[in-house]
A and B are shown apart, each in its own frame.
Chain A
Amino acid sequence: MKKDWLEPINSYVKIELRGDDLESFINECLAQGIAIWNIERTGEGSVSACLYTKNMNEVRPLMKQTRCKFRVIEKNGLPFWAARMWKRNGLLLGLAGFFVVLFLLSNMVWNINVTGANPKTEYQLLKAAKDMGIKKGKFIFLLPNVRQLQQRLTNAMDNVTWIGVSLNGTTYNFQVVEKEIPKRKETSSPKHLVAKKDAVIYDMFVEKGQPVVSPHQFVYKGSLLVSGYIGKEGKTKLVPAKGIVWGETWYTTSVTVPLKTNFQTFTGNMVTQHKINLFGLNIPIWGWNDGEYKTQVVSKNETPLKFWKWSLPVSYIKKEIRETDGVKRVYTRSQAIQAGKAMAKKEVRKLLSHDAKIKGEKVLRQSVSNGKVNLSMHYQVIENIASEQPILIQQGD
C-alpha cells in the first residue's frame, strides 16, 4: 500500500503479460520484492498489470524463467508525462516565456505622471527625470529609490520648492510645488517713498516725485524720502513716486568659528554589492568584497520585485560601501578670523537684496574662548532704502 503515493512521481507502465503460467510470474515478483499491482485477467493466458519502469530490468529474467512475454499498454508517471509535454515544448516555452515577460513588464516603468506643475516646469522635470534614467520602459529595480530620486530632483530643479516622488505600481507620480514668484504689481495710485530703515542717504535717483532729502542726510525709519506731491505751491498734483534711494545702512553679525573641526570626506574608494533577497535570505550575486575599510559609510537600496500586482518575496539589493576619511581641520587664530569674516560676510549677504553693496567692514570685537573664535562684525552697506507708501485720499477731498 505504501507505494501508492509515489505512483505519480515514479514512472510506471501498464503491461500485458502473455504466458501459460502467469501466477508463478506474480509469485516470483513477490519473492523478489518487485512491486506489482492492478493485476487483471484480460483473457485466457493473458493478464494486465502495472510495474515501475525502474524494475523492468529485474522483471525481464523472471519473464524468461516463467516463459511469458509482455507488451506495454500505457506509460504513466511524471517522467513520461514530462517527456510527452516536451514533445509540445513550444507550448511549454510559450508558457515560460509568458511568465518571464509578465515578470519583466511588472517591473518596468509604464507611466510618469506630473501633477501641480505648469507645462514648462513639467517639461523640465521630465527632462531632469530622464537624465536620472526614469523613462518609460526602464526597469524599476535598476533605478535609484524614491527617496533618492526626490532628493536629487529637488536639487536639480531650481524653480521648484519641493517634488514629491511616489511609485505607484509601475507608475511614477511626481507632485510638484512650484516656487511662487509674486508678480510685481504695477500700481498707479499716488504714493510716497519712505525709508525702510535708519540710514544716511548716499545717492538718489528719482524718476517721479519730489525728493525731500539730500545726500549725506540722516533719515529714520519711516521718514519721507520722495514725496508724491509735485508742482508748485497751490497747484500740486499727486503722482506715484518712483525712484531708487541709496542709503548707507549698518549691520552687525556675530559668528563663532571653532579652531578644530572634524570632517568626514569620501576617499573615492568604494565597493558595490548586488544581492537578491529571497524570503529574507540575502543571496549575493556580484561583489563579495565587504570593503573592510577602517571607516565606511554604507548605503543600501532595496527594490522589491513584482509580479503582476503582487510583490514577490524577492527583492534586489544594491549596497554601496564607501570609504570615508576623517579629516581634521585646524585653524590658527588668524586663519579662524579670516574664515569668520568670510562667514559673516556671507551671512550679511543673505540679508541683503542682490543690488546692495558692502562698502566696508570692521571687526567690532574678537575673542578666543574654549577653542573657538568669537567674532562680531560691523558692515556698512549701500542699499536701496526706498519703500512705497500709498497716499490715502479721503473721499470727497
Chain B
Amino acid sequence: MAKWRQQVTKWLVEKLDLPADAMMDLPRITMIGQLHIYIENHRGVMAFSREELKLRLKQGHLVIKGQDFVIKTILPEEILLEGTIEGVYYDKST
C-alpha cells in the first residue's frame, strides 16, 4: 500500500510539476559554502558529535561529515548546523 502510494506521488510530481520535497517528504538541504547547512523535513537526530551528524529521514538517514559541528537551531522539522562541512551522504539502510 505504502509502496503504491509512493509510486502515485512520484508520478504526480513528475507529471504535474509539484514540489518534490513537500509531496514526498524528502529533505530539502540548503548549504552556504562549508559554513552552514540547513535541512528541512528531518525526523530527528540519531547521532551527533563534533565530526558527524546523523539525521533520521522518512526513508533512510542523512549523514553530514565535517568538523566543529554546532547545532545552531533545531526545530521539529528543521535543523541548522554550523561548522566546516565536508560531505553529505545518504544512507539507505534503516
**Given that A23-B46, A26-B48, A27-B44 are known contacts, is A39 also in contact with B76, CB under 8 Å in the complex?**
no
Taken residue by residue from 26 to 41, chain A's Cβ proximity to chain B (1 for < 8 Å, 0 otherwise) reads as 1101110100111111
Do A23 and B74 touch across chains, with their CB atoms under 8 A apart? Answer: no
The answer to whether A23 touches B73, judged by C-beta atoms less than 8 angstroms apart, is no
- Chain B residues bordering chain A, tally (CB within 8 A): 16
Query: Contact size class for A?
Result: 10 to 19
* A residues less than 8 Å from B73 (CB atoms): 1, 3-4, 37
**Would you list which residues of chain B between 73 and 88 have a CB under 8 Å from chain A?**
73-76, 80
Q: Which residues of A contact B80 (CB under 8 A)?
A: 1
The one of A23, A26, A30, A41 that contacts B50, using a Cβ cutoff of 8 Å? A41
A341 CB to nearest chain B CB (Å):
100
Q: Is the CB of A204 closer than 8 A to any CB of chain B?
A: no
| Nearest CB in chain A to that of B38: its residue | A1
A241 at the interface (CB under 8 A from B): no
Q: Are A38 and B72 in contact (CB under 8 A)?
A: yes
Specify which chain B residues have a CB less than 8 angstroms from the CB of A38 in the assembled complex. Answer: 70-72
Asked if B45 is an interface residue, CB under 8 A from chain A, the answer is yes
Q: Which of chain A's residues 4-59 have a Cβ closer than 8 Å to chain B?
A: 4, 22-23, 26-27, 29-31, 33, 36-41, 47, 49
B78 to chain A, nearest CB (A): 8
The reply to whether A39 and B74 contact each other, CB–CB distance below 8 Å, is yes
Evaluate contact between B72 and A41: CB separation under 8 angstroms: no
Contact of B45 among A1, A3, A27, A33 (CB under 8 A): A27
Known: A1-B75, A37-B73, A39-B71. 8 other contacts (CB 8 A): A4-B73, A30-B44, A30-B75, A31-B76, A36-B74, A39-B70, A41-B49, A41-B69
Q: Which positions in A face B, CB cutoff 8 Å?
A: 1, 3-4, 22-23, 26-27, 29-31, 33, 36-41, 47, 49
Top 4 closest A-B pairs, CB basis? A39-B71, A27-B44, A23-B45, A40-B70
Interface CB pairs A-B, < 8 A, 26: A1-B73, A1-B80, A4-B73, A22-B48, A23-B46, A23-B47, A26-B44, A26-B45, A26-B48, A26-B71, A29-B74, A30-B44, A30-B74, A30-B76, A31-B76, A33-B76, A36-B74, A37-B73, A38-B70, A38-B71, A39-B70, A39-B71, A40-B69, A40-B71, A41-B50, A47-B48
